[in-house]
Structure 1
């Protein structure tokens, strides 16, 4: 027997799975396109006016750079405008991954062209006009640095995209201290787990300190499970004698002097790492950084070639740049291809879902987990149980997994 939960809230929920800051990323990408476009026109016109073929060539190179960024900008714009289009069954969140995959293919082709041209110049050297080439390389580097700054929003972002919460639960959004107004003043209730098993801590902020004899805490979880915690005086604060089981999602009622003060604790599992990554912006940034890296290598090669007569340094710099770009392109193709093929985006999340659903003796018969967009996951789960539980029960169990933006639950009854 199969029981499908399909109330009005589940049937008509939003299918907008765009990443956080989608419109800001869109605006920043268009700004970089304008910068590259202006630079492109200036270089081509300047080259034609002053007879510099090198300047014209760099302007044409800038046009390919702007074209790649245009693909990212159009993907942002189209995804936003069609986010509510019912023709897209699971929204337009993966359009950025499609654009990133396409950009990665373009990067791979650029790497091959640079590599081919560089190897050709080793066997057939051409004269280098250092007076023109070196300043143009510096200008290109400056434009790429400005582009990277604009794409990052003028801020520095770490590569880990992680968040420190002061404890060991990666990816969880904990706000595990509550201030409670009581008849005797304010008290602070905290789930403390800094290097030790999690326990409640209770201390006075204002007024008299609570006593262990007159204090206790009772938790009620979403499935109705209750647990009473006795308190022990630790000098300056009270601490629960028993550890707090995972997950830390419950209503905790503090009992002080015969009065009850309920407060809610929630524990959320968020998408992190590659699951939350915006591959459209990643592709745009890689284009900029790849161009900047090539500019640095070209500058180094040109300076060494001019100083020591090592003309082979210029094509060698091109070969190294081609390998660097190819490596970045491969990583982008691998990651975006996996998303487009609906591969499991987060094995850790899948294991946590299984543990949560099987915690009370039920059996997870089937699990499909895929990425809908940056920070958004879809899941289809099939649970086999011999208990009288409906899909709403399991939906409540999985409520802390905030990155599950689209969840379908099937419950099969054991005879």
Structure 2
């Protein structure tokens, strides 16, 4: 057998997209369309009725339309370039890059809403409560429908899966970013409805901008969490759960010791690892790989071997 044929036996692809990648992409596109239509209606109604809560919801939804568009584009880009050799470990982390960008947008939105709400607190304007409440209620319905669309596979990517007595977190941060944007929209819609009803029936006009500030703080917290988690993936932080499983499987006997270990995420449910071991002559690299076979997250494994 020639050297070329021997080498071909060990070649493999770097397709590390999540198993629900295409389905999540379709769901996200539907949500983009719904969000865009509602965005136009809420911004127009907010200006007409004079409601800060409703206008904030509309502009918030506008930025979400952009962010959701980024999420949809990320799914498309990742699929188109999944087999492009220019990407050393595939395009499984494109969604995390999109999620980080969306989190930044979400953070800026929260600052804008808080600033405008504080301004309206000191410079109140007349609000058409009845009309604004109706539009906010319609916006909430759209948000709930969008959340249900995204929740179809959100749970598959956002809950814990268990293997070898360790908890592992499998997040499609791109889908999560879309889901968080929709939840933020739903929150601002609910808060807008509460503020508008209180203004109409209790005369609490001040509640409209106050609730705008409260909503901004909650959205900022969500943005921070999403930015923190997606940044961790982009910076190749160690997946401690998988690393602990690798150590347990390899060092459970006295014939192998790990001298260096790198484990990082290359896709929503895929991890890469470089394992450097010092082992006795009776242990081969194939034996090392066999021991690590139960670690189902490992999609790309490199073993560096030294005899003890």
SS of the aligned residue for 2:277 comes to strand
Shift of 1:54: 5.5
Tell me the residue number matched to 1:66: 65
Evaluate the alpha carbon distance shift between residue 312 and residue 52 of structure 1 in structure 2; reply closer, same or farther with a 3 A threshold: closer
Evaluate the alpha carbon distance shift between residue 320 and residue 60 of structure 1 in structure 2; reply closer, same or farther with a 3 A threshold: closer
* Between structures 1 and 2, the one with greater strand share: 1
Shift of 1:38: 3.2
Whole-angstrom distance in 2 between the partners of 1:133 and 1:293: 16
SS of the aligned residue for 1:387 comes to coil
Whole-angstrom distance in 2 between the partners of 1:294 and 1:100: 21
Specify which of 323, 336, 353 is matched with residue 217 of structure 2: 323
Whole-angstrom distance in 2 between the partners of 1:148 and 1:87: 35
Specify which of 264, 269, 272 is matched with residue 168 of structure 2: 272
Whole-angstrom distance in 1 between the partners of 2:209 and 2:42: 23
RMSD: 2.6
Shift of 1:387: 2.3
Whole-angstrom distance in 2 between the partners of 1:279 and 1:146: 20
Tell me the residue number matched to 1:309: 203
* Contact 1:271/1:376 (8 A) holds in 2: no
Shift of 1:329: 0.6
Asked if residue 52 in structure 1 is aligned to residue 48 in structure 2, the reply is: yes
Tell me the residue number matched to 1:181: none
TM-score by length of 2: 0.89
Tell me the residue number matched to 2:305: 411
Instruction: Point out the more displaced range, 384-393 or 309-318.
Output: 384-393
Instruction: Point out the more displaced range, 385-394 or 17-26.
Output: 385-394
Superposition map of 1:16-415 within 5 A:
16-41=15-40, 52=48, 62-153=61-152, 157=155, 161-162=159-160, 171-172=162-163, 272-273=168-169, 276-345=170-239, 347-361=240-254, 362-414=256-308
Whole-angstrom distance in 2 between the partners of 1:97 and 1:160: 14
Instruction: Point out the more displaced range, 143-152 or 363-372.
Output: 143-152
Whole-angstrom distance in 2 between the partners of 1:76 and 1:303: 40
Q: Deviations over 1:5-42 (max 9, x none)?
A: x96444x1120000121000000011111222333456
Whole-angstrom distance in 2 between the partners of 1:158 and 1:379: 24
SS of the aligned residue for 1:272 comes to strand
TM-score by length of 1: 0.67
Shift of 1:61: 5.0
Structure with max Cα Rg: 1
- The total of aligned residue pairs comes to 299
Evaluate the alpha carbon distance shift between residue 319 and residue 9 of structure 1 in structure 2; reply closer, same or farther with a 3 A threshold: farther
Whole-angstrom distance in 2 between the partners of 1:143 and 1:74: 22
Whole-angstrom distance in 1 between the partners of 2:95 and 2:252: 36
**Structure 1 portions without partners, runs of 5+:** 1-5, 164-170, 173-267
